[in-house]
Amino acid sequence: MPRKEQSPIARIALSQFRYSFDDLLKPQAYLNSFSQYIIEIVVEIVMWFGRPKDDYKNFERTARVASYFLEGGTQKKPEAVASNFIVVLDKLIPALNISRMAESKAKQVSEDDPDTRIENYLAYYKVMYEGLLPFICSPIIFAFGVSRKSANRAFIPNAEGKIDLMAIGEMNKLLAYLDNRLAIGLNNHLRNAYSHNSYRILDDAQVKLWDRKWGPEIWHLEQIVSICDQLWINALGIIGGLILYDINNRRTMEDRGWISSIPTPPLRRKEINAAVDSLSNEFGFYMDSLELVPNHISLNLRTKSKGIEQDAKQIMGYKTHTVYLKIPLWYEERKVIDQLVKMLYRLIPYFEDQNEVSFYITSIDNTPLGTLTTDFGTLIGLNLSDTKSDTVESVRHIFKTDTLGDSTTFIEFEGAPRLDRIGPAMSSDEFKNSISKKVR
C-alpha cells in the first residue's frame, strides 16, 4: 500500500524513472534514500493529473541532455565534476521547495483576479530563474566546459555554487546544434523587467514589460503562465539529470576517496519524517511516531500483516486520455531484527554517528513485540559485509537492548506497472474518485 500521505503517482515514481532511464543506468548504479526522495517529488509534479503527456516527454529529454553533459565532463575530469556537484547538492531541496511554494501561491489565486495572478506568476518566474536554475545548471555547465576543454570563465561557478545563466549562451557557441535544452523557458528580459519593476499591469489580463534594450512588449497572462510551465518542467528535467549522475557515480566518488563521504543534505523535520516514514514502509512497518531530541531518535513502529496478493489499479489522467495500469502485489515474511538493521544502515546519512536510536515495535493490533536500542557508531563499527539473516543474528549481542526475539513482519513487493488499457479523458472529480481503487 502507498505510505501515509504518499500520492498514487509517487508510488510508481521509481518504476517510471527506471522505465524512462534504464538505458542510462551504469552497472554500479546505486539509489540512495535522498535520490529516491527527489525522484518521487519530481515525477509526481511532472505526471500529476491535468498535465499534457508532452510534459513528461520534455522532462525526459532534458534529463537525458543534462546527463549527457555531466557524463561528458566526468570522462575528462571525474573528480572536478564530482566536487562541483557536491557543492550544490545541499542547495537542491531548499531551492526546489521555494519554487514549489511560489508555484502554489500563483496557482491558488482566483482566475477572477488576473492582476494578482500576473504579479504572482512573475514572482514565481523570478524565483525559478534566480533561485533554482543557477544552482541546478551549475555542475552541468561546468561539466560541459570540461568536456570541451574550454577556458571560458563563464563555465566556472562562483564560490556559492551558482552559475550565471548567460553561460548557456556561451555553450551554444560550442554546440553543433542550436537547440540547447537548458535554455527552454529562459527569458532574461522577462526576469529583468520584473526584478527592476519595469512593468505595468493593464486591463484584460495583460501586462506591459520592458528592459534596458528590450521592449516594451505586451504579454497576456496566459503567455506568462505558459513560460512558467516551460521553465518549471525543464528545471525538473535538469534535476532528473543530476539524480541520474548521482545514481551512476555516487559509489565511484566514495570508493576513490575524492571526498571522505558524500553527505546527505540536511533535511528539515518535516522532510526527515517523510524520509523515515518512507523507509519504514519499505522495510515492513507503519511509523506511528518519530521523536527527535539531541543525540537520540525514538521510533514507534507497527509490523504489517500479510495482505491479499492481487493487482493494484493505477490510473494516470492526462488532458486527452486516461492510462490504466496494473501493478502486481505480493508479500514475504521477514524477521523484524533483520529489517531494522537494514533500515538503520539507510538512516545513517541523516544523523550523527553518536546518535542513539531506539525502536519500539508492536504488532498491527498494538501488542508489544519488543525493543531495539543501539547507536549509529556501534552499527558502523560492526562493518558488516552484508545484512543477511545469519549475519545479523551473529551480532545481536552487541546491541544495547534487543528484546525482539523472532518476531516477524510482512514486506509488500510491487512488480513493474503494466499497461491495462487506454481510455477517454476523465474529469478531475472522476479521476480523484478512482485513483485509490484496487482490482480484485
- Shared domain for 38 and 84, answered yes or no, is yes
C-alpha cell at 295: 543525540
- Shared domain for 262 and 293, answered yes or no, is no
- Shared domain for 148 and 168, answered yes or no, is yes
3-class DSSP assignment, residue 166? coil
Q: Which domain holds residue 286?
A: 270-414
Read off φ and ψ for residue 294, nearest 5 degrees.
-50, 125
Q: Is residue 389 part of a domain?
A: yes
3-class DSSP assignment, residue 298? strand
Phi/psi class of residue 161: alpha, beta or left (left: φ > 0; alpha: ψ in -120 to 50)? Answer: left
Predicted confidence (pLDDT) per residue in 192-211, tens digit: 999 999 999 999 999 999 99
Task: Decide if 233 contacts 46 (C-beta within 8 A).
Answer: yes
- Helices first, then strands: H and E counts in the chain: 16, 13
Return the pLDDT at 421.
Answer: 86
Predicted confidence (pLDDT) per residue in 214-251, tens digit: 989 999 999 999 999 999 999 999 999 999 999 999 88
Could you identify the residue written with the cell 513487493? 413
C-alpha cell at 1: 500500500
User: Can you give the pTM of this predicted structure?
Assistant: 0.68
Mean pLDDT estimate for the chain: 86
- Shared domain for 94 and 217, answered yes or no, is yes
Q: How many CB atoms lie within 10 A of CB 149?
A: 9
DSSP state at residue 399: S
Q: Is residue 67 part of a domain?
A: yes
- Shared domain for 399 and 382, answered yes or no, is yes
pLDDT band of residue 162 (cuts 50, 70, 90) is: very high
Phi/psi class of residue 13: alpha, beta or left (left: φ > 0; alpha: ψ in -120 to 50)? Answer: alpha
Q: Is residue 253 part of a domain?
A: yes
Q: Is residue 321 part of a domain?
A: yes
- Shared domain for 203 and 305, answered yes or no, is no
Predicted confidence (pLDDT) per residue in 76-107, tens digit: 999 999 989 988 887 888 899 899 999 999 99
CA distance 263 to 271: 16
C-alpha cell at 194: 520584473
Number of domains, the chain: 2
- Shared domain for 152 and 33, answered yes or no, is yes
Task: Decide if 243 contacts 35 (C-beta within 8 A).
Answer: yes
Pairing assessment for the beta strands 321-335 and 408-414 based on DSSP bridges = antiparallel
CA distance 123 to 130: 10
Q: How far is CA 394 from CA 187, 386, 387, 390, in A?
A: 61, 12, 11, 6
Q: Is residue 54 part of a domain?
A: yes
Specify burial of residue 372 (Cβ count, 10 A radius: 0-12, 13-18, 19+).
buried
Q: Is residue 209 part of a domain?
A: yes
Measuring CA to CA, which residue among 169, 121, 123 is closest to residue 144? Answer: 169
- Shared domain for 98 and 133, answered yes or no, is yes
Q: Is residue 427 part of a domain?
A: no
Residue that wins the pLDDT comparison between 54 and 249: 249
